[in-house]
């Protein structure tokens, strides 16, 4: 019988020393909370709250209250009977039931429990069971956020009211001709599927989707070689890439020498989470879509997009889901086996985890855009911590963004 020494000469620890790169002893991974956590009071969350974010589509913002979760806060979006949208905190400031069960009236939303009525700016107009409709009702104000509608989306500003910047305009979404219109989406994932009307949330952080925009090499590998041609053949040519600061973001300039011409593709990000990607069908000219990767909470995000289209064109978001196909099947029609063998953006990004472990990354030369974007975001977070305004969110005059993203053939 073997005698086991007891107690051991060395105390047993959960993790030993990692040797020769083996898995044993590996330290637990850590993510960069400074850059990813978005709740109230977090460094990144405070920076995010200095910009406008879409929270719903105008067309579906009605007198039926909707639950909206954004930046880790649970809110209720509705449109009063006069047509004005409102965004209030979920829990009634009387005794805390949800306004989801409230009823929308001419001037606001009435809580189901004791009938307090709140306007779109949170003002309490009536306390139905209090004498005289509530003699102290001016003391109760439901937490609220300013909202504005533009391009068929409802945008909210969740930061300090005295620092509210103007809601930006984008040249590519302005001055439509009579045969053009704007098309909106608020539930479909980027290009490769992954979410649906029933499940609009992507189960991972907004940051990894945002970083994907400045990562042009995944277009060559993931979308063109690994999984076959998911967009267009020309995108499989390895590009010469430059990343540059542009406006308040990072632009990616990818040049491809094609057989008969030079193809210059510019993709643009705008802090903190706006993406302008030119057509994946390689339509020449400026991009025609602006999209926002909106943090729902630390581990979920959703996208909202607006595209400029011809009035008789097939809806662009439907068309796009048919472009990125595998043997004619859309992402939603593919089997698990096909998703495994022909992954797309959703698989690659959700595969990084709900927040990637940044401590385990090995960034290389082709990740320069990711590094630039993270540094730019960090600088804005720091600016807010020091009492300043982040780039692109300075209070003041109306602001028009002149987009440069596009497909240019020379």
**Which residues in this chain contact Fe ion in the complex, by CB under 5 A?**
345
285: left (phi over 0), alpha (psi -120 to 50) or beta: left
* Other residues' Cβ atoms within 10 Å of the Cβ of residue 93: 18
| Cβ distance to ligand FES smaller for residue 113 or 409 | 113
Residue 345: contacted member of Fe ion, ligand FES, none (CB under 5 to 8 Å, by partner type): Fe ion
Report if residue 97 touches ligand FES, rule: CB under 6 A: yes
Report if residue 339 touches ligand FES, rule: CB under 6 A: no
- What is the C-alpha to C-alpha distance for residues 201 and 359, in angstroms, rounded to an integer? 26
CB of 116 to ligand FES, least distance (A): 4
| Cβ distance to ligand FES smaller for residue 96 or 245 | 96
Which residues fall within 8 angstroms of residue 201, CB to CB, at 6 or more apart?
Answer: 195, 296, 300, 301, 302
- What is the C-alpha to C-alpha distance for residues 320 and 322, in angstroms, rounded to an integer? 5
Residue 116: contacted member of Fe ion, ligand FES, none (CB under 5 to 8 Å, by partner type): ligand FES
Chosen residue from 26, 67, 81, 95 binding ligand FES by CB under 6 A: 95
Coil, strand or helix at 373:
helix
Report if residue 92 touches ligand FES, rule: CB under 6 A: yes
Report if residue 94 touches ligand FES, rule: CB under 6 A: yes
Residue 37: contacted member of ligand FES, Fe ion, none (CB under 5 to 8 Å, by partner type): none
Report if residue 381 touches ligand FES, rule: CB under 6 A: no
* Other residues' Cβ atoms within 10 Å of the Cβ of residue 177: 9
| Cβ distance to Fe ion smaller for residue 60 or 330 | 330
Concatenating the DSSP letter of every residue in 292-336 gives EEEEEETTEEEEEEEEEEETTSPPHHHHHHHHS-BTTB-GGGS-H
Are the beta carbons of 193 and 330 closer than 8 angstroms?
yes
Window 205 to 264, contacts with ligand FES (CB under 6 A) = none
CB of 109 to ligand FES, least distance (A): 10
Structure-block tokens of residue 178: 């009579």
Binding mask 102-121 for ligand FES (x = CB under 6 A): ---------x-xxxx-----
Coil, strand or helix at 235:
helix
Give the strand order in the sheet containing 147-150.
52-57, 153-157, 147-150
Give strand pairing partners of 326. 329
Residue nearest to Fe ion (CB): 345
Report if residue 78 touches ligand FES, rule: CB under 6 A: no
Residue 43: contacted member of Fe ion, ligand FES, none (CB under 5 to 8 Å, by partner type): none
CB of 101 to ligand FES, least distance (A): 9
CB of 345 to Fe ion, least distance (A): 4
CB of 112 to ligand FES, least distance (A): 7
CB of 110 to ligand FES, least distance (A): 8
Closest C-alpha among 266, 247, 191 to residue 376 = 247
- What is the C-alpha to C-alpha distance for residues 325 and 228, in angstroms, rounded to an integer? 10
| Cβ distance to ligand FES smaller for residue 139 or 362 | 139
Chain residues that interact with ligand FES, rule: CB under 6 A: 92, 94-97, 111, 113-116
């Amino acid at each position: 019988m073997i005698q086991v020494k007891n107690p051991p000469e060395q105390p047993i620890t959960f993790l030993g020393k990692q040797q020769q790169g083996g898995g044993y002893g590996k330290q637990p991974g850590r993510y960069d909370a400074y850059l990813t956590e978005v709740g109230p009071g977090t460094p990144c969350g405070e920076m995010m709250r200095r910009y406008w974010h879409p929270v719903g589509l105008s067309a579906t913002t009605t007198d039926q209250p909707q639950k909206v979760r954004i930046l880790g806060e649970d809110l209720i979006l509705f449109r009063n009977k006069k047509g004005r949208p409102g965004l209030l905190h979920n829990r009634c400031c009387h005794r805390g039931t949800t306004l989801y069960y409230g009823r929308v009236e001419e001037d606001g939303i009435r809580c189901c429990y004791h009938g307090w009525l709140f306007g779109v700016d949170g003002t309490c107009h009536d306390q139905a069971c209090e004498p005289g409709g509530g003699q102290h009702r001016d003391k109760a104000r439901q937490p609220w956020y300013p909202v504005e509608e533009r391009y068929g989306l409802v945008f909210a500003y969740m930061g300090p009211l005295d620092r509210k910047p103007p809601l930006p305009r984008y040249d590519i979404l302005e001055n439509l001709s009579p045969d053009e219109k704007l098309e909106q989406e608020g539930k479909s994932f980027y290009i490769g599927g992954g979410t649906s009307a029933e499940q609009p949330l992507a189960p991972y952080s907004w940051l990894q989707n945002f970083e994907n925009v400045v990562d042009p090499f995944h277009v060559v590998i993931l979308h063109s070689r690994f999984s076959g041609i998911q967009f267009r053949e020309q995108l499989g040519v390895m590009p010469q890439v430059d990343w540059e600061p542009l406006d308040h973001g990072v632009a990616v300039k990818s040049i491809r020498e094609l057989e008969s011409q030079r193809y210059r593709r510019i993709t643009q990000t705008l802090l903190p989470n706006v993406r302008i990607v030119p057509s994946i069908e390689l339509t020449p000219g400026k991009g025609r879509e602006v999209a926002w990767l909106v943090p729902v909470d630390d581990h979920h995000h959703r996208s909202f997009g607006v595209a400029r289209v011809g009035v008789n064109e097939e809806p662009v978001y439907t068309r796009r889901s048919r472009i990125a196909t595998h043997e004619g099947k859309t992402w939603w029609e593919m089997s698990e086996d096909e998703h495994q063998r022909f992954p797309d953006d959703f698989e690659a990004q959700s595969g990084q985890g709900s927040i990637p472990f940044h401590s385990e990354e090995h960034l290389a030369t082709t990740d320069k855009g990711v590094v630039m974007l993270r540094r730019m975001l960090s600088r804005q977070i720091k600016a807010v911590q020091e009492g300043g305004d982040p780039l692109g969110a300075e209070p003041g005059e109306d602001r028009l963004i002149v987009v440069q993203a596009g497909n240019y053939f020379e």
